[in-house]
C-alpha cells in the first residue's frame, strides 16, 4: 500500500499537465476529425441514426458523447475534447505504471 502513495505525486503531475493542455486546446478551432464527429452528432439528432451500421465510418468516440449532448451538456466540441484528454491522461498514467514495473 505504501508504494502506491509514492506514485500519487507523479500521477497527479501527469493529470495536472493534461488539464493545462486541455485549457490551451479549447482555444483552437475544431480539427478535421472533430468536425467529422460533430457532423455525426448533428446527424443523429436530426435523423436518429444512432444504431445504423458503421459503413460510413462513424467514429467510436461519437457514441459516448451522444448521451451527454442529449442530456443538454453543451457544446459537443467541449465533450469530444474532454473525452480525448481523459483517454490521453488515462493512457499516460497506465504507461507510467507499466514503466514502473
> CA 67 to CA 81: how far, in whole Å?
15
User: What's the pTM value of the predicted model, to 2 decimals?
Assistant: 0.70
Strands (E), 16-96: none
pLDDT in tens, 37-91: 888 888 888 877 666 665 566 667 788 888 888 888 889 999 988 888 888 878 8
At 37 the pLDDT is 86
Cβ atoms of 34 and 80 within 8 Å: the answer is yes
Cβ atoms of 32 and 58 within 8 Å: the answer is no
In this structure, the number of other CB atoms found within 10 A of the CB of residue 58 comes to 19
Domain limits, the chain? 31-100
Amino acid at each position: 500500500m505504501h508504494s502506491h502513495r509514492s506514485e500519487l505525486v507523479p500521477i497527479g503531475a501527469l493529470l495536472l499537465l493534461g488539464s493545462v493542455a486541455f485549457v490551451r486546446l479549447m482555444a483552437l478551432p475544431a480539427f478535421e476529425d472533430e468536425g467529422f464527429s460533430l457532423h455525426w452528432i448533428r446527424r443523429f439528432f436530426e435523423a436518429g441514426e444512432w444504431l445504423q451500421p458503421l459503413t460510413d465510418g462513424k467514429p467510436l468516440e461519437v457514441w459516448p458523447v451522444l448521451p451527454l449532448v442529449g442530456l443538454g451538456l453543451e457544446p459537443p466540441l467541449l465533450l469530444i475534447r474532454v473525452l480525448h484528454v481523459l483517454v490521453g491522461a488515462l493512457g499516460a498514467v497506465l504507461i507510467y505504471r507499466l514503466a514502473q514495473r
